[in-house]
Amino acid sequence: MPELPEVEINARNLRRWLGRKSFTGVTLPPSRVLRPAASAEEVRARLEGRRVQGVDRRGKWIRLRLDSGDALYSHLGMTGKWVERPTTGAPLPHERACLTVAERAVCYTDPRLFGRLQLKGRGERLPEWEALGPDPLTDGLDAALIKARLAGKRRSIKEVLLDQSLFAGVGNVQGTEALFFARIDPRRSAASLTSAEVERLVEAVGQTIARTLEKESGPKLVYVEEAGAPNPFLVYGREGEPCPRCATRLERIVQGGRATVFCPRCQAAHRRPR
């Protein structure tokens, strides 16, 4: 499932492929990716001939700003991806939208259809975009502010890390990795973290995002859940393997319906900073 780094790579590719270019063709087969679902023809008409002024990303959302004042929002859901192909080429499997600029077709593919494309007019807002908290990459995270916002939160820090109003773009993979980097037990209540631990966590979120961007960047992005994909992560998806730091066997638990892998030794609950 694409998280901040994967969405950022999609956004960078879109910027490179579409930035300052005009759509010479738009293909939008109706699908549940398009919201509202019945608007395919209207959306196509509003995109045709328009020029892309800029591509933004916040959390797991991408926004294409057009010269008409409209904005096309894209959420990649679980399997969504923007890819390019020659306009003369055959459609890719699971194409849900294609934006053509000169010789290049930039297409949104999504096998499982959990993604979303939504056009908003000038002055219209997308509530999900507005509700996002600070983005670790574009805004940076303020440890003191986060410490204050964690106070009173009795849920586990792992579950709270996935709250998009606190850590926009962090998902199960980045949350799992960040807790490992920060040596924090994922089962600890969010409110129990000390200031020093929150500082470590904030730094760790930045580290794991930077590390993932370095490993995955490029035009041919592959998600870790795809069949045969490599796993570039230190602990995510590696239960039963030795901890890369201390060789203790990594354990898997389920929190809020999501799997967390952690090192019971490096991330021991009793560990306290000096």
Q: Which residues bind Zn ion (CB under 5 A)?
A: 243, 245-246, 248, 263, 265-266
* The residue to which tokens 């994909």 are assigned: 229
Q: Give the active site residue among 120, 258, 264, 265.
A: 258
Smallest separation, CB 256 to Zn ion (Å): 23
Between 54 and 242, CB nearer to Zn ion: 242
Cα(44)–Cα(199) distance, rounded to whole angstroms? 46
Residue of 179, 203, 194, 146 lying closest to 268 (CA atoms): 179
Tell me whether residue 3 is one of the annotated catalytic residues. yes
For residues 168 and 263, which CB has a smaller minimum distance to Zn ion in the complex? 263
Does residue 2 have an active-site annotation? Answer: yes
Cβ distance to Zn ion smaller for residue 109 or 267: 267
Catalytic option among 58, 60, 81, 200: 60
Q: Which CB atom, from 16 or from 249, has the smaller least distance to Zn ion?
A: 249
Q: How far apart are CB 80 and Zn ion at their closest, in Å?
A: 34
CB of 267 to Zn ion, least distance (A): 7
Shortest CB 57 distance to Zn ion, Å: 33
Nearer to Zn ion, 110 or 185 (CB): 185
Minimum distance of Zn ion from residue 245's CB (angstroms): 4
Q: So which residues are the catalytic ones?
A: 2-3, 60, 258
